[in-house]
Structure 1
Amino acid sequence: MEPQGKIWMDGAFVDWADANVHVLTHSLHYGLAAFEGLRCYRGKSGSAIFRLHEHVDRLFESAHIAMMTIPYDKKQVAEAIVETVRINKLDACYIRPLVYIGYGAMGVYPGDNPIKLAVAAWKWGAYLGDDALANGMRARVSSFTRHHVNVSMTRGKISGYYVNSILAKREAKADGYDEAIMLDPEGYVSEGTGENIFIVRKGRIKTTPLTSILEGITRNSVIELAREQGIVVQEDRFTRDEMYIADEVFVTGTAAELTPVREIDNRRIGNGKPGPITAALQKAFFSVVRGEDAAHASWLTRI
């Protein structure tokens, strides 16, 4: 991570190196915090944040699920995100808003500890690497199971839930893979450590329904782009072996964007290269985020 100039913290910009919290900050100990990930892209007509308002909506939904009341309204948070990009003079970046429980009472019950908000932005290229974005990544099915809906409420983007992702990612990387794919508690494919999963068979797309997975904003965008191209998209459960025999597999997410998967559990997917539907949707996605698709201009907030 390349340090930038300023981070927005509770209504004011502070120097990057001074954006600190107390070691007894409640969320640091117990993991109850909500966050978002957004991207700002450089385009022909300048830079723009992709689906800013949808991300702000989801941040508020996650905080609501976690019983945290954000001390700002949605307009103020959206403005803080835009200003964080502007003040750091970034034309392309990743943006991280974080809502957390601050210093005060210690113990599982946070009492009336203050709810804090920070927004940071930094330069970040292809999350899974440029080669994976172009040629596909290698993944393994993890030994770790994704959350049950009544253990961790899966519609919330909650910091503590990602311990599960960290363990799965470390296991996959230690075994020489780029990413992990997790199954749900009933053994069906759920999602990656930070991505939604799509498979393509016989010209149709299938993706996990909104049961054990986060309601991905990039996922939603890609489903819409696919249907506009006349591709049938089913939201339905599927098994790990259906991934093995798929013609194409790809993952989506703010960080991962749209990344092909060329191999799972040492089994080649299709011909081992990004397939035609994956390539077409990846092209359409990047056309949108770079401001080249006027039909989806409403998805962009200009900086």
Structure 2
Amino acid sequence: MINDTLYDRKDAKISVFDSGYLVGDGIWEAFRLHKGSLAFADMHLNRLWSAAASVGMKFPFSKKELLEKVWRVIEANHMEDHVHVRVMITRGIKKTPSQDPRLTISGPNVVIIAEHKKASQHSKEKGITLFTSTIRRGSPDYLDPRLNCHSKLHEVQALIQAIEAGADEALMLDINGFVSTCNATNFFIIRDNAIWTSTGEYCMNGITRQNVIRVCKKHGIVCKQKNFSLFDVYSADEAFVTGTFGGLTPVTKIDGRIIGQGKYGDFTKKLSGLYEQLIEEECT
């Protein structure tokens, strides 16, 4: 869907004068459709509205109205389960290539893409590998890492480094050298039956990350949001990443070093089960 009009995938197009294309002036959100329900929809909408406020973008629609647009796309495609929905909103069409928001001559452009996606169980059992990038997660005073914006070039650069090193994803440090997050997912380690993740000051504002912390609190699992370094990571018992689409995915190797037993660990499996249970509760 582009601005309330449904298109076949091959016909979906946006102007080259769109703010997102010209200068990366846009924000986005992702939803997971599970058994006919959008999991944690309120949390995702709140994050999107926070992003809009951060970049000074005003929407001519409410959260309810945007959700109705999402459901229209889902229903038009007869979708029920294992669906990833991406909502992208840019400031609009510019009258000339420029950063200046005052040169925008339209309202926001809203693009909604719904795709059938299912995380591979084989990949989950196998786990993924990470490489620590030299590209750092930035400070909130120049591009807050919590902002889901279209300006993702630094994360792409980090991922390119990881791919060239033979890894699946990039692990990124913060400006102080502590472990922050990955290029597209949030990062956790397990040490001595406790979960560690970053303080949240320099990492993505992940909904799944928030829900894993929530699950730990609910089930009496120690979860520490703290500064830690690669020294702690390399000797971790287990590690995993989180995201809307994949849930919890184990990490078996980082920078060529095997983490723990180099497999989908029991603690991660347990936590993944508790997270999936939370989704079932949310969607019933």
Which range, TM-score by smaller chain? over 0.9
Counterpart in the other structure of 2:47: 58
Deviations 1:70-123 (A, max 9, x none): 121111011211221111112221100011022223311121522221211011
1:15, CA displacement in angstroms? 3.2
1:127-160 residue CA offsets vs partner (Å, 9 max, x unmatched): xx54331232111111211112112022211110
1:133 aligns with 2:124: yes
Structure 1 match to 2:21: 28
Corresponding residue for 1:157?
148
The residue type paired with residue 93 of structure 1 is V
* Structure 1 equivalent of residue 179 of structure 2: 189
Secondary structure at 1:35's aligned position in 2? strand
How much has 1:282 moved relative to structure 2? 0.9
The Cα of 1:164 is off from its aligned counterpart by: 1.3
SS at match of 2:189: strand
Structure 1 distance, partners of 2:52, 2:208, is 20
**What CA distance in whole angstroms lies between the structure 2 residues aligned with 1:78 and 1:112?**
29
Equivalent in 72, 78, 88 of residue 89 of structure 1? 78
TM-score (normalizing by structure 2): 0.93
* Equivalent in the alignment of 1:227: 217
Check conservation: 1:70, 1:116, Cα contact below 8 A: no
Q: Provide Cα deviations, 1:253-295, integer angstroms capped at 9, x if missing partner.
A: 1133210111111111111112222110111222333x2xxxx
SS at match of 1:226: helix
Separation in 2, partners of 1:60, 1:18: 29
Secondary structure of the corresponding residue to residue 246 of structure 1: coil
Identity %: 28
User: Is the Cα contact below 8 Å between 1:132 and 1:260 reproduced in 2?
Assistant: no
2:231 maps to 241
- Cα contact 2:85–2:113 (8 A) shared by 1: yes
1:253 maps to which of 208, 224, 243: 243
1:14 aligns with 2:23: no
Aligned AA (2:138): H
Alignment partner of 1:200 out of 187, 190, 198 = 190
Three-state SS of the structure 1 residue aligned to 2:102 is coil
Q: Mapping of 1:104-119 within 5 angstroms?
A: 104-105=94-95, 106-111=97-102, 113=104, 114-119=107-112
Larger relative contact order (Cα-Cα within 8 Å, sequence gap ≥ 6) = 1
Is 1:169 the equivalent of 2:159? Answer: yes
Contact 1:56 1:74 in 2 (8 A): yes
Q: For residue 14 of structure 1, give the secondary structure of its aligned residue in structure 2.
A: coil
Q: Which residue number corresponds to residue 206 of structure 2?
A: 216
Residue type of the partner of 1:238?
A: F
SS of alignment partner, residue 263 of structure 2: coil
Comparing 177-186 and 101-110, the one that deviates more: 101-110
Counterparts of 2:121 and 2:160, CA distance in 1: 20
TM-score normalised by L of structure 1: 0.88
Runs of 4+ in 1 over 6 A off after TM superposition: none
Structure 1 position 232, deviation (Å): 0.6
Deviations 1:19-43 (A, max 9, x none): 211112122011111001111123x
Distance 1:246 1:272, change over 3 A: same
> CA separation in 2, counterparts of 1:280 and 1:73?
38
Q: What secondary structure is seen at the aligned counterpart in 1 of 2:136?
A: coil
Structure 1 unpaired stretches of 5+: 1-6, 292-296
Worse overlay, 114-123 or 242-251: 114-123
How many aligned residue pairs are there? Answer: 280
Partner of 1:70: 59
Letter aligned with residue 217 of structure 2 = R
1:130, 1:141 → 2: CA distance? 25
Which string of whole-angstrom CA distances, capped at 9 and with x for unpartnered residues, describes residues 55-78 of structure 1? 111111111111111121111011
What amino acid is aligned across from residue 19 of structure 2 in structure 1?
Answer: H
